[in-house]
Amino acid sequence: MTAVMIGYARTSTTDQKAGLDAQLRDLQAAGCTKIFKEQLSSIANTRPELERALEFVREGDVLVVTKLDRLARSVADLVAITEKLKAKGVELRILALNLDTSTPTGKLMLNLLGSIAEFERELMLERQREGIAKAKAEGKYKGRAPTARSQAAIVLSMKSEGKKVADIQAALGISRASVFRILKELSAPVDAA
């Protein structure tokens, strides 16, 4: 019996159309007869299409991904996924690494690469935290820009002075919808002009 190749493709945002298209092209070229795809962050709590793919695969199948980071968020995540696959008698193939878990070398490489990927991510996050701390110490880090709700008092004050919604919007640099939302939540009379 020939192994059925099942593909999984993921991008972190819906803006990454070219990245998703490239993954789909590579998975099709590898011989995948069914491909599960999604466009959401790997830090999302759920990846419904990955769950569907893991449910779909059967003994003897091969789950194929283009890169390791398209599949797993961490070593723990990678271990959990590979354990599910192993329990079902399914192998994993990662195209960019020419890695196939049907071989002992492939299994060893997968564990090593997962550990290295998690280590690199932790280093990146540590450098990011250090950079933010340095910028804060130098007074260069402003943090997240204030949201419209943080300007609610100003919106109310301007409205009570008789300012129109368009004037409030322009003065504060917030959306028209945000002005209306603030006025509605705080029960101020709204003049749509």
Report the relative pairing of strands 34-39 and 5-11 from DSSP bridges: parallel
Task: Tell me the C-alpha to C-alpha distance, in Å, between residue 122 and each of 11, 68, 114, 116.
Answer: 21, 16, 12, 10
Q: Name the active-site residue from 12, 157, 175, 187.
A: 12
Radius of gyration of the chain (CA): 25
Is residue 6 helix, strand or coil? strand
12 counts as catalytic: yes
Mention every residue, 6+ apart, whose C-beta is less than 8 A from residue 76: none
How is residue 67 annotated by DSSP? S
Active site residues: 12
